[in-house]
Chains A and B, each alone.
Chain A
Amino acid sequence: QQQVKQSPQSLIVQKGGISIINCAYENTAFDYFPWYQQFPGKGPALLIAIRPDVSEKKEGRFTISFNKSAKQFSLHIMDSQPGDSATYFCAASMMGAQKLVFGQGTRLTINP
């Protein structure tokens, strides 16, 4: 049973466009929600993370939107670039436990 559900599985966006990836979770004990970027054959790299006491966090071109009541969060990549083409994973964890539960991943392709 996937505790964190991620969509879409794949996404194609034109250069300069906005990429949006969505995640939903069931376990209300989760209180830390990071996003990771992974290139083929490489380790996941932390992009940005949010805790449920804020509804939005922005770092450069990356923004997380968080809806606690809906148990959903999303990643927005503004001005998407070909170098952003990678697989993106959302994840969740509980304070203290800290093991990450990942979504299924989204393969993002930015067309030049």
Chain B
Amino acid sequence: AAGVIQSPRHLIKEKRETATLKCYPIPRHDTVYWYQQGPGQDPQFLISFYEKMQSDKGSIPDRFSAQQFSDYHSELNMSSLELGDSALYFCASSPPLGPQFFGPGTRLTVL
């Protein structure tokens, strides 16, 4: 069965640089979510999109922005990176009113 695809899987950036993370949801899933997971912590909700419109927003820094495109893939853009942004970033997708399925994640390291 098709799963959520995330790219890149690993990303190393310097402080103050910009990063773009991509997510390709499971086909026919109408909602995409982004979560951030720090070392030894639980995933924290950042933002979600339903049918290409932002549907909910969590503790996402103003330096971050996201969007969902016409083909339903989503991108998380992170600017002015800080050391504290180093984390695993997960994308999840869900069918209408269905459970969330997570991708393999992108490990971002900010040096």
Contacts and interface: CB of A to CB of B under 8 A. Distances in A.
Nearest to A97: B56
A54 interface: no
B24 interface: no
A98 B48 contact: yes
Contacts of B48: 98-99
Contact of A98 (B44, B90, B94, B105): B94
A49 B42 contact: no
Interface stretch (B63-71, B72-80, B96-104): B96-104
> Chain B interface secondary structure, helix, strand, loop or mixed?
strand
Contact of A100 (B45, B97, B104): B45
Contacts of B31: 98
A12 interface: no
Q: Which has the most chain A C-beta neighbours within 10 Å: B33, B42, B103, B105?
A: B42
Contacts of B101: 46
Contacts of A45: 102
A43 B9 CA distance: 11
Contacts of A99: 33, 45, 48, 56, 58
Interface string A42-53: 111110010000
B107 interface: yes
Interface of B: 4, 31, 33, 35, 41-45, 48, 56, 58, 88, 90, 94, 97, 99-105, 107
Interface of A: 34, 36, 41-46, 49, 89, 95, 97-105
